[in-house]
Amino acid sequence: MAKIGFIGLGIMGAPMAGHLLDGGHELFSTVNRTPAPDDLLGKGLTVLDSARAVAEAAEIVITMVPDTPQVAAVLFGESGVAAGLSAGKLVIDMSSISPIETKDFAEKIAALGCDYLDAPVSGGEVGAKAASLTIMVGGSEAAFAKATPIFELMGKNITLVGPSGAGQITKVANQIVVALTIEAVGEALVFASKAGADPAKVRQALMGGLATSRILEIHGERMIKRTFDPGFRIELHQKDLNLALQGAKALGVALPNTATAQELFNTCKANGGAAWDHSAMVKALELMAAHPVAEEGAASAAAE
């Protein structure tokens, strides 16, 4: 059993950390704005006063925070993880951040005699709670082998994609696919509903054909039942699509539909939806159609 530091006990981080505790590992964390969840404290989580203290206590340090600046602050800020590392330790960033910055972070951690993996995840709150996350990893084979038993407690589809940064590149690609599929499901359900069909039964029919997907299954249901609590917040998906569009510009690659999806998220944000689940992209399409897929607050009986 390992001594693991876990920094970032949010919507996804808390259940991920819980699985590590359930697996018998000793867990350390530090909390800034919100207290540690009671269930994790009950399982034996130790809360320390800084990221540095977490790194001093742990053999492996995992970060799961919202964006690139937060990862930089946790790792290299005053009393950060880097200040508490000693040679031979492993740092794993499971946040979704810039691939370019990730390579820089990995070099800085390597200079301290430690290994670094970028290991962003897909699957949202549902996957975090079910320990069924997809984990996309960049780094060395040796570090990946060391981390694999830890990853297996949190996810199912675990892939070493390539060297440092490859995990984050894969996550950006994942977020492009997810955003465009949410948009496609939203368009289909808005069309079907406005044309007079029951969107719940349309979704049920589509689930048996080539159009089926996890997005249609989970997010299509949210669109029909109007359950837009995160989940995965629109503002976080916007951050990921910004990484895609910035990277595309640097590479000279056109991502026209990704840009459209970002504009739809922007419309939601402008209407107070930054913290809505990303399935609420459908609300932007509903505004343009002047027609909701289903009435707010009325979970369709047919969707049950």
- Residues belonging to the active site: 171
- The residue with tokens 């530091």 is 5
Task: Write out the two tokens for 238.
Answer: 């916007």
What SS3 state is found at 159?
Answer: strand
- The residue with tokens 């949190």 is 154
- Rg of the chain over CA atoms, in angstroms? 20
Q: How many CB atoms lie within 10 A of CB 161?
A: 19
Beta strands in the chain (DSSP E): 3-7, 26-29, 46-47, 60-63, 90-93, 115-118, 121-122, 133-138, 155-162
The residues near 125 (Cβ < 8 Å, ≥ 6 apart) are 11, 12, 15, 230, 231, 232
Task: Write out the two tokens for 122.
Answer: 């897909």
Parallel/antiparallel/unpaired status of strands 26-29 and 46-47: parallel
The residues near 209 (Cβ < 8 Å, ≥ 6 apart) are none
- The residue with tokens 């964390």 is 29
- Quick check: bond before 231 cis, omega within 30? yes
Task: Write out the two tokens for 20.
Answer: 């590590």
